[in-house]
Amino acid sequence: MNQKNQTTYKIALTGLIAALSYVVFTFLQVKIMIPGTESATSIHLGNAVCVLGALLLGGPLGGIGGAVGMTIGDLLDPVYITSAPKTFILKLCIGLVTGTAAHRLGKLSVCKDARAAFRRSLTAAICGLGFNMVFDPLFSYCYKLVILGKPIAELTLLPNITTTTINAVTSTVVSVAAYNALRPALKKAGLFPVVGRSIHKQPHDHNKSAFCLCHLF
């Protein structure tokens, strides 16, 4: 697959990640209303799709796909609509952290050993979702403190910590399992996206160039 086709393919996959994250987050979540508030938290696998996107496509594209899908889910739900900006920022960050660990540090897409690829994908997923497990409740608390006030922020803090932790564990398992199942299948089909490395150009043949130049004179 040449560079142009790779770019088009990655853009198409980013759209697929956005659609999948929206569907998973919107229709497969367990919504939990928080007593004493009009806010809710949820157990879902939307983050798993975001991490999967980052493992396959790199942090920017995977993060954008997951962030766009789940932000649309928030915007279309009256309960979550005020959280839409926060969702976009945090899900984008999940992708960026996961992608950095997987590709910039781990060189995951060019790793040829299946066991090493599993370890690197697991480490990257833990980094991305570990980041979210810390910063989602913290960011949510500060965000709600400004938007909804201190009483709501305090009431929602513990439920957010609980569901974020559950989501981090389940999303790590699902995203790593999905990536390592898809990886050999995509490679066999010639559809595995390479991250962080340009498509190799044909090496320059100096002898051939010299031969052509000779025939110009």
Q: Is 73 exposed, middle or buried (0-12, 13-18, 19+ CB in 10 A)?
A: buried
The pLDDT of residue 39 = 85
C-alpha 167: how far from chain center: 14
pLDDT in tens, 16-46: 999 999 999 999 999 999 988 888 899 999 9
pLDDT one-digit tens code per residue, 179-207: 999 999 999 999 999 897 644 443 444 44
Task: Enumerate residue ranges in the chain where pLDDT < 70.
Answer: 1, 197-217
pLDDT of residue 188: 95
- DSSP string for 44-91: -SHHHHHHHHHHHH-HHHHHHHHHHHHHHHHHT-TTTGGGHHHHHHHH
Q: What is the pLDDT of residue 197?
A: 63
Q: Please count the residues of the chain.
A: 217
- Going from the N-terminus, what domains does the chain have, and what CATH number goes with each? 3-214 (1.10.1760.20)
- The predicted pLDDT at position 147 comes to 85
- Name 189's Cβ contacts closer than 8 Å, sequence gap at least 6: none
Q: What is the pLDDT of residue 199?
A: 44
